[in-house]
Structure 1
Amino acid sequence: MLATLMQTLDSTIANVALPHMQGALAASQDEIVWVLTSYIVAAAIATPLTGWFTDRLGLKRLLVVSIAGFTMASGLCGISASLQQIVLSRVLQGVFGAALVPLAQSILLDINPREKQGQAMSVWGMGVMIGPIIGPTLGGWLTDSYNWRWVFFINLPVGLLALAGILVSLPARDDRQKRSFDFVGFITLGVAIGAFQAMLDRGDQLDWFGSLEIRIEAVIAAIAFAFFIVHTATAGPRSFFRYQLLWDRNFATGIGFIFVIGAVLYATRALIPPMLQNLMNYPVATTGLVTAPGGLGTMIAMLIAGRLVGKVDLRLSLLCGFAVSAFSLWQMTQYTIVLARSDIVWPGLIQGFGLGLVFVPLSAASFSTLTPELRADGTAIYSLMRNLGSSIGISVVQSIVSRNTQVSHAALAEHVTAFNPLLRQQFDVSSQASMATLDAIITQQASMIAHIDAFKLMLFATLAVIPLLALIRPTHQHVAGEIAHVALD
């Protein structure tokens, strides 16, 4: 669980420190986002390798290597002196950290008897969901009290403690298997994900398809993904991707839902801290504090969801969770440039509660019908889809904010003329300093409009997936009941 929390925490802990990194590393607003997306993309590409590496190295050996590598990469992030160095270090973090979450899930399923697996998954789910939510709070405190480098140095004692715990407590076993590696499948999927993410990250900066680079990246992503699909369909058992997973309707639907959850959760957490700091002049520590209650909502909801699983239809719990999450996003679309702290706290708390209601029953429904031999690959693909959703969600909302700020600025400026009597009462239209102040006000309002547009998109995405709940098959009572035994002590 320490390894799980460390990996998921690092996906958002740097969010509130981005403005400080931007100044220290001499990066633009578009470039500094690479600190977030490089980590998530690297983890997304490396996650499907978990099953193969588990067979080749054994579960304990792979976990030891992953924790050690992740801890080392965290130290490299903390001592980075340029944008290129920190992005490369974050890529290493993502590669080594990719296996931590699926391995933790697989281990908890293996070391617990069937009647305890529901309890184990609830505890594991808390680590997965709470990490991204408390990340901004911890990152804000570390940045304010020390500096931004400590958001990475904090991993060193945690990683060493997790490594020592695994070496001492996890039984050694020779569970290695000979399994051929599908280089074609891995390379085509990796190229497709990498090119697509590069297109998303650079698109706004290069005017999207007006740029030759973006068109090339889009073509590479499309061709690579097409090759991956064809290869997967024809390679049979040698395929890198176990396409048998998609024959399970619950699992196939579950990965679609976790993609949306990843996009909404991570994009919201990446969007709000810069909004509070840049538009409303919130101190970094205060930003972390007002975004923290989402974690409390998630914990409460997971305890409730654990009690409900096995007693009510999983689809009803999922419906309630998505509805609550949608309501919180609707609240965010009502934001203005003047917000009380409670206006930030309550929507975050409600969103955390809604996502907590979704996560436990979604995990139960997704894995309840999978055969044990598909479990390792299933957990890897499940984490992959969450990471992909996160990466795409962050890039899309950042692009929307950047582009719509310019569009809204132009629309607002059309109504600002020297002949407006209200304007002449408030500003000296002949003074350059006064006009510069007016332009800053218009930019601030335009940016707020752009943020609201991003919240609206996430709201529509959440509402759009609700009808897909009908695709989930009801889980048998005795299987669902395993999730209901949640430890309250």
Structure 2
Amino acid sequence: MSSTTAAATPAVPTPVKNRGAITACVILAVIMQALDTTIANVALPYIQGSVAASADQINWVLTSYIVAAAIMTPPSGYLATRFGRKRILSVSIVGFVVASVLCGLSQSLMQIVVFRLLQGFFGAALVPLSQSILLDIYSAEERGSAMALFGVSVMVGPVLGPVIGGWLTDHVSWRWVFYINVPIGALALAGVSAFVVETKSDLSAKLDWMGFGLLSLSIASLQLFLDRGEQLDWFNSGEILIESVVAASAFYLFLAHTFTAGSVGKTSFVDPRMFLDRNFAVGMLFIFVVGITYLASLALMTPYLQGLMGYPVVTAGMVMGPRGMGTMVCMFLVGKLIGRVDTRWLLLTGLGMTAWAMYDMTGWTPDVSQWTIVHVGFIQGAGLGFLFVPLTTVTFATLPPEKRGEGTGLYNLSRNIGSAVGISIVTALLTENVQANHADIASHVTPFNRLFDNPVVHQALDPTTPVGRAALDGLITEQATIIGYIDDFKLLMILSLVVMPLVLLLRKPASPTAVDHSVAME
């Protein structure tokens, strides 16, 4: 696997003309990509109605983007090395914008999922290549400030996404959550074309296409298995059986290829020796869980606020915005603490805050106040801020410098897969638990229940009339759905608690200052 951050990076940055303009245009590209991770969340109910999709199907709009980005992030460094970084960045921006327009024009669920896959495919290279450009044009002394700016741009998207998406959906159309990428992409492309200098192409660079293909096939099959399992009754479906066999077989072949490539003189897509580093192996598991808990909870919040609580789309976006603000604020705070406080304590703080936020959410009902949603969301976001930079720091602290480029690709792959898997799992569990809870609650509702002796209850919920039965069914469905959400929030809380003991396996870095914190922002 080629480096995604060090491709064609000179050892000592030389003075660069138009450095401010270059910084602005690559930051725009990063914001555009980051914006799309959350901007579609609040628009999902509207997209669902427009393309006639079910509640579990509409989440394909989120997971298809994440999976495509996960698959295409590792080879981005190889592509930049072989064809030139400026060329690949320009193609990525153009492809991302075109895919965005096609998403906005989509008339069916299949179309929007396919075009979201294209978005993820082209958008995967935007963040690592933009970061590598910033590392090139700033000196070692200036890179801290440059990476802080880069980190802010990465977090601006999740902060503004729900707010901008809510406003556009309410005042114009859900299609504009995708069309908004056109002016941003045009400005970024113009800046890249005018100011960024092309790097030398290395046509001798090679990629392990066999390993890349097998891993991609395994990830794609796993995602189809998770997304369609609930709808097709899991292993009672021939399609699900095929997808599970393909996912397992492809992953087995990938592992076999990876461990035998060296013996036949070939370079494998993934160097398995990296996992002998305990910090790196534990960090990969940690970031997988972080991916599950953060984006899966975001996917749950949108239907909760708009479906159960009846929030307008703009209000839903506004109350979800502080979550990203908490992350951004705490990232700056943690940046000051790294090197002064043991990163393992910072990780425990972040996991504790995340677990507490999920615990509080297990007590929510549709009557919960906006202030509660805002401050709990802020705390959950702050928990991610305490996790993200320290986790990346300790993960790469003991990894050899020449392996950090390859390591960042795997690290981001694990995070993206965790996000996609998490969204699929909580959505499937929500659907399944709502059905089970509905059946359980309904079993206690009979015409002989003494509560129907109350005249007010009998008039509104008379089980002997069609209107009363419909009202009863709606009430039971609402209660079953509330319990279903509580079960999902409880699962995410347990995941945050379960990984806490893994902190004991992490080795304290010998010299925190020697760690390249820039990889934390990728």
Q: Does 1:278 align with 2:307?
A: yes
SS in 2 for 1:390: helix
SS in 1 for 2:57: helix
* Alpha-carbon contact 2:30-2:126 (below 8 Å) kept: yes
SS in 2 for 1:5: helix
Which of 475, 498, 518 in structure 2 is aligned with 1:464? 498
Which of 77, 83, 90 in structure 1 is aligned with 2:103? 77
* Alpha-carbon contact 1:328-1:348 (below 8 Å) kept: yes
SS in 1 for 2:56: helix
Post-superposition shift, 1:406?
A: 0.4
* Alpha-carbon contact 2:434-2:480 (below 8 Å) kept: yes
Residues 72 and 373 of structure 1: CA distance in aligned 2, closer, same or farther (over 3 Å) = farther
* Alpha-carbon contact 2:344-2:503 (below 8 Å) kept: yes
Q: Distance in 2 between matches of 1:124 and 1:261?
A: 21
Q: Does 1:31 align with 2:60?
A: no
Unaligned stretches of 5+ in structure 1? none
Residues 181 and 413 of structure 1: CA distance in aligned 2, closer, same or farther (over 3 Å) = same
Which of 472, 483, 499 in structure 2 is aligned with 1:438? 472
Post-superposition shift, 1:51?
A: 2.7
Residues 245 and 430 of structure 1: CA distance in aligned 2, closer, same or farther (over 3 Å) = same
Q: Distance in 1 between matches of 2:392 and 2:355?
A: 20
Encode CA deviations 1:171-218: one digit per residue, 9 max, x unaligned: 332153522232211111111001100000000001111222111111
Which of 182, 185, 208 in structure 1 is aligned with 2:211? 185
Post-superposition shift, 1:416?
A: 1.1
Q: In structure 2, what is the equivalent of residue 134 of structure 1?
A: 160
Which of 151, 172, 189 in structure 2 is aligned with 1:125? 151
Q: Does 1:221 align with 2:255?
A: no
Q: Does 1:314 align with 2:343?
A: yes
Which of 270, 273, 284 in structure 2 is aligned with 1:255? 284
- The aligned runs of 1:49-68 (5 Å cut-off) are 49-68=75-94
Residues 93 and 195 of structure 1: CA distance in aligned 2, closer, same or farther (over 3 Å) = same
Q: In structure 2, what is the equivalent of residue 22 of structure 1?
A: 48
Q: Does 1:391 align with 2:420?
A: yes
Q: In structure 2, what is the equivalent of residue 161 of structure 1?
A: 187
Q: Distance in 2 between matches of 1:16 and 1:282?
A: 11
SS in 2 for 1:29: coil
Q: Does 1:359 align with 2:388?
A: yes
Residues 123 and 389 of structure 1: CA distance in aligned 2, closer, same or farther (over 3 Å) = farther
Please give the TM-score of this superposition, normalised by the length of structure 2. Answer: 0.88
- Single out whichever of 231-240 and 368-377 deviates more from structure 2: 368-377
- The aligned runs of 1:275-424 (5 Å cut-off) are 275-424=304-453
- Over the aligned positions, Cα root-mean-square deviation in angstroms equals 2.0
SS in 1 for 2:74: helix
SS in 2 for 1:12: coil
Post-superposition shift, 1:129?
A: 4.0
Please give the TM-score of this superposition, normalised by the length of structure 1. Answer: 0.94
* Alpha-carbon contact 2:226-2:425 (below 8 Å) kept: yes
- Single out whichever of 71-80 and 359-368 deviates more from structure 2: 359-368
Which of 471, 474, 477 in structure 1 is aligned with 2:508? 474
SS in 2 for 1:176: coil
Post-superposition shift, 1:478?
A: 5.3
* Alpha-carbon contact 1:133-1:269 (below 8 Å) kept: no
Post-superposition shift, 1:447?
A: 0.5
Name the aligned partner's letter for residue 487 of structure 2.
D
* Alpha-carbon contact 1:132-1:266 (below 8 Å) kept: no
Encode CA deviations 1:272-312: one digit per residue, 9 max, x unaligned: 01111111111111100111111221121111101101111
| Higher helix proportion | 1
Percentage of matched positions with identical amino acids = 51
SS in 1 for 2:206: coil
Post-superposition shift, 1:371?
A: 4.0
* Alpha-carbon contact 1:408-1:449 (below 8 Å) kept: yes
Q: In structure 2, what is the equivalent of residue 233 of structure 1?
A: 259
Name the aligned partner's letter for residue 420 of structure 1.
N
Q: Does 1:201 align with 2:227?
A: yes
* Alpha-carbon contact 1:50-1:377 (below 8 Å) kept: no
Q: Does 1:448 align with 2:474?
A: no
Post-superposition shift, 1:388?
A: 0.4
Post-superposition shift, 1:245?
A: 3.2
Unaligned stretches of 5+ in structure 2? 1-26
Q: Distance in 2 between matches of 1:51 and 1:186?
A: 13
Question: How many residue pairs end up in the alignment?
Answer: 485
* Alpha-carbon contact 1:279-1:337 (below 8 Å) kept: yes
Q: Distance in 1 between matches of 2:65 and 2:293?
A: 18
Residues 381 and 105 of structure 1: CA distance in aligned 2, closer, same or farther (over 3 Å) = farther
Q: Distance in 2 between matches of 1:215 and 1:307?
A: 50
* Alpha-carbon contact 2:72-2:124 (below 8 Å) kept: yes
